[in-house]
Amino acid sequence: MQRVVKRSFSLEAYTLEGGATIPVTLGYETYGTLNEQKNNVILVCHYFSANSHAAGKYSPDDSLPGWWDGLIGPGKAVDTDKYFVICTDNLCNVQAKNPLVITTGPKSINPETGRSYGMTFPAFTFRDMAGIQYELMKQLDIRHLVAVMGPSAGGMIALHWAVQYPTMMDHVIGVNTAAQNPIMTSFNVLQHAMRTIKLDSNWNNGEYSEQQEPLEGLHLAIQMMNINAFTASYQESAYPRDSKEAAPYACIETMTSYECALYDKIAINIPLIDANHWLYTARATMMQDVSRGFDSLEEALSRIQARVLMIPCEQDLLQPPEYSQKVVDILKKQGKEADLHMIRSDKGHMAGVLEPHLFENEVKAWLKAGVQIGSN
């Protein structure tokens, strides 16, 4: 198992898509070795609830490796014997209270006031994330990437890379992701969850103290995301009904056994997560639209030069396959090299993170085919 360390990089002033200019510091990790020509780099972008710890362990005692360790490592699909893999923390990373996450967001100190930004922090987009990562590449003197890839929000960032910096990479791989966030998901998980956090009286317009955080609202928001990140058949087997229990039939405030089971499981995540950071990340996901600033999605995608592989999951409720298919259809119509590999799993959206064995061969083949290292 590869040992990894957390690094960080800073930008004195970065101007976001919304117009505000802020100083930015984000964490990042690397796996494998940068070659002399600095042209063996793959940028992996993280999903909503994750962070830059995509692979390896910090210490042999860690119970779990990074979140895409099944895909990234020596001899794996993203082979660290060959590639130098970089993963950064996102702006407003939801795990703002995780000491291993380095992020800039509402919880950060606004240098102009000496106090946390709170809700005065400007909105960010996944296009901004691509732009900030582009600045990191300049700092590292990396002028070309073999690939930009990621699941879900990570794939959204990868698609912005492809549109905004079209000559910068050979391949783009998006797993369970979309060029424009589905309206259903924008409402059903993101907007509903954001409103839920704000309904918690402890949220206090974002000005909560560490002693009184909006934990019930945050718990419910995370549960909404979790429930939809899996599938109906998964929930039915993971949280089975007990037809024998009587108490919940007498009082509507008595939780059923399956409600208790899920409640406790979600609660495990809470201590690392900051409610305002969650709001900002939810909003960035909702606003995902690579066509912004162009006349159409077709026009935006016409800028892409990279070979694009989209990997949707048939059962995905958050980023259904149609949205991947649309990207591939448009690119093919434009004469680009693009393909779709459909996976099937009752883990739905989470299959993109939890079941890399379902697509590791396709990832490996995609990175091998077409343009080779150093060909640009």
Question: Which residues are part of the catalytic machinery?
Answer: 152, 316, 349
Q: Quote the least distance from Cβ 195 to its own copies, whole Å.
A: 5
For tokens 């082979």, the residue is 79
Compute the distance between CA of residue 284 and CA of residue 334 in angstroms, rounded to an integer: 28
DSSP SS3 for 354:
helix
Residues 237-266 that bind its own copies (CB under 8 A): 239-241, 243, 248-253, 256, 258-259, 262
Residue 220 or 350 having the CB closest to its own copies:
220
Listing DSSP states for 157-217 in one string gives HHHHHHHHSTTSEEEEEEES--SB--HHHIIIIIIHHHHHHHHSTTTGGG---TTS--HHH
Does 64 participate in binding its own copies (rule CB under 8 A)?
no
Residues 278-337 that bind its own copies (CB under 8 A): 279-280, 283, 286-287, 289, 291-292, 294, 320
Q: Quote the least distance from Cβ 371 to its own copies, whole Å.
A: 31
Residue 8 or 21 having the CB closest to its own copies:
21
User: How many binding residues for its own copies (CB under 8 A)?
Assistant: 59
Pairing of strands 115-116, 145-151: unpaired
Does 224 participate in binding its own copies (rule CB under 8 A)?
yes
Query: What angle do the packed helices 215-229 and 192-199 form, to 10 degrees?
Result: 160
Q: Quote the least distance from Cβ 222 to its own copies, whole Å.
A: 11
Which spans in the chain are helix H? 126-139, 153-164, 183-185, 192-199, 215-229, 232-238, 247-250, 257-267, 275-286, 297-301, 321-333, 351-354, 360-368
Residues 117-176 that bind its own copies (CB under 8 A): 119, 122-123, 125
Binding region for its own copies (CB under 8 A) out of 2-10, 63-71, 177-185, 337-345? 177-185
Q: Quote the least distance from Cβ 228 to its own copies, whole Å.
A: 7
Instruction: Give the residue from 125, 121, 93 showing the smallest Cα distance to 273.
Output: 93
The half-sphere exposure of 2 on its side-chain side, counting CA atoms within 13 A, is 24
Compute the distance between CA of residue 86 and CA of residue 32 in angstroms, rounded to an integer: 9
Q: Quote the least distance from Cβ 292 to its own copies, whole Å.
A: 5
Does 192 participate in binding its own copies (rule CB under 8 A)?
yes
Binding site for its own copies (CB under 8 A): 17-20, 119, 122-123, 125, 180, 182-188, 191-192, 194-196, 199-201, 216-217, 220, 223-224, 227-228, 231-232, 235-236, 239-241, 243, 248-253, 256, 258-259, 262, 279-280, 283, 286-287, 289, 291-292, 294, 320
